[in-house]
Amino acid sequence: MASLSIYRETALPGTLVANSIYFVAPAARPDYVEIYVTGNDASTVKRVIGEQDVQALINASGGGGGSANMLEIVDDMAARDALSPATNVLVLVLDASADETVTSGAATYAYRANTSTWKKISEAESMDVVLTWANLQDKPTSSVAEIDDAASKRHSHANKTQLDKIDEDANGNMTYGGVLPVTGWGSSNW
């Protein structure tokens, strides 16, 4: 079984020792530590990914804020159509009124690179929409006043207290206040 050596360095040495762990705190970045591990042969070196590696992965995915923006902003539809994105991208078009589905204002589009297609995912004109009953589609035929009246009467009964006492027993017989109703007969002598 090989022994394991551990080193604390400010730079990775030019010649490494087999079966070792190197903790490297670069002088320019003393608050960070890079970790390198050698195998049975000193030329076999593995390292733990660092901040620059993570940033490179983010940049490669299009989310690094470098040359690949997460959101492009253009003035109009012609400017959007002039783009030649190589990857999936979101584009905010400040004046999307050239899109027949946009009456006025801005809209956001997603570009799908594998099919070279644009899909509208939102539009600004709906941000300040004020709905009126007259402009609703597929609404009930009742008027607003009729619906409000029906809603206000949904549990309004002059005799609600008495109606709430009506129930049934385990045999399916109607009960009133938890007992079988009493008939109006005062006697049953015949």
In tens, the pLDDT along 153-190 reads 777 778 888 988 999 999 999 999 998 887 666 656 66
Helices (H) and strands (E) in the chain, counts: 4, 10
- pTM for the model stands at 0.39
In tens, the pLDDT along 102-155 reads 988 999 999 998 999 999 999 887 766 778 888 888 888 888 899 898 888 777
| Beta-sheet strand order (sheet of 20-24) | 5-9, 20-24, 34-38, 45-47
The torsion angles phi and psi of 94, rounded to 5 degrees, stand at: -65, -35
